[in-house]
Amino acid sequence: MKPETDIGTPDLDPRRYWPLLRYLDKAGAAIAPLPDGLDDRDILVSLYRAMVTTRTFDQKAVSLQRTGRLGTYASSLGQEAVSVGVGASMHKHDVLLPAFRDHGTMLWRGVTMTEILQYWSGDERGCDFAGPREDFPVAIPVASQATHAVGVAMAFQLRKEPRVAVCIVGDGATSKGDFYEAINACGVWKLPAVFVINNNQWAISEPTRMQTATPTLAQKAVAAGIAGSRVDGNDVVAVHDVVSRALDEARRGRPQLVEALTYRLGDHTTADDARRYRDDAEVSARWQEEPILRLRNYLVGRDWWGKADEEALIREVRAEVDRAAEAYLALPPQEPTAIFDYLHETLPPSLAGQRRMVEDGDG
């Protein structure tokens, strides 16, 4: 008998096996009853405020970069619901392992705007958070934080602590070996970890369809033996609900993978020009479903928000962001020798010599 060589095309219809959970449609109308605990004005307004704060902070950071007062910066424009939804779902004692576009989660967790600006200016002191002391700093190498999450989750498991390692990656990171290794290890060892894929559909200039043949990224969980789910990443209510449930499962030793489908409305970073590879009409269409307008429309429709509320919020948030930027700009720069002080506990002789030269003004 000849071996079977044609296995055919697997049935991977995402609508059948990987439905996209959503509570608010693109215009902000409820298409299903909101989950218990989230159908509350104060909670929804807090989520709205956090998203507006994230966007306002982003605008200030880009402005600082354009005027030479900040290094290269990665905006989260259009992805605020993923960031805020994840942060609002986490318990205080969980640990966040963010990528470079998760300012909203970091701010919700208690990292200050000034610390984030310090980091993006190249000042390592910006990674020494005064707030969430055990949260990890921004991971610039793509997917490197996924393997770090395995170690964090294993520590929680060994200590029998009811904590979860929450790792956020972009869609491009799911094509890296680090990501596969991490979810595989979590599946084998039943680690308390949640991986959130912030699928903004562009890995710099590479669209998702050029990165993977799978119809969804959530189904990559199958190969790791863990649960996967998909959520509308522009619906902060849905993100909060799905990630909260994923965290509950992970605390019971059942690691989870969540794909949050959103769209990057801005450039990849301030060093990028997305107009070179992306159609303006596509971006304009995506603005119609962006997360902040969607939740505001819902709040207004419930008579929970009005013009005076919006104007007061904008004033407060802008003032908060301006104070943080002024505090950042007033910080004294680090000594030039600082570049040697964050990699080795004890400097190798060659670097120690270089450090002395810089210290003596000869470098």
Residues forming the active site:
264, 268, 277
What whole-number distance in Å separates Cα of residue 75 and Cα of residue 61? 8
Distance CA 225, CA 218 (A): 12
Sequence length of the chain is 363
- d(CA 236, CA 116) in angstroms, rounded, equals 23
Q: Shortest CA distance to 293 belongs to which of 28, 100, 46, 113?
A: 28
Q: In whole angstroms, what is the distance from residue 156 CA to residue 150 CA?
A: 10
Both tokens of 116, joined, read 């984030």
Angle at 256 between CA 43 and CA 47, to 5 degrees: 15
Q: At what angle do helices 236-251 and 291-301 cross, to 10 degrees?
A: 100
Alpha carbons within 13 A on the beta-carbon side of 325: 18
Question: Are residues 186 and 255 in contact, defined by beta-carbon separation less than 8 angstroms?
Answer: yes
Distance CA 249, CA 232 (A): 20
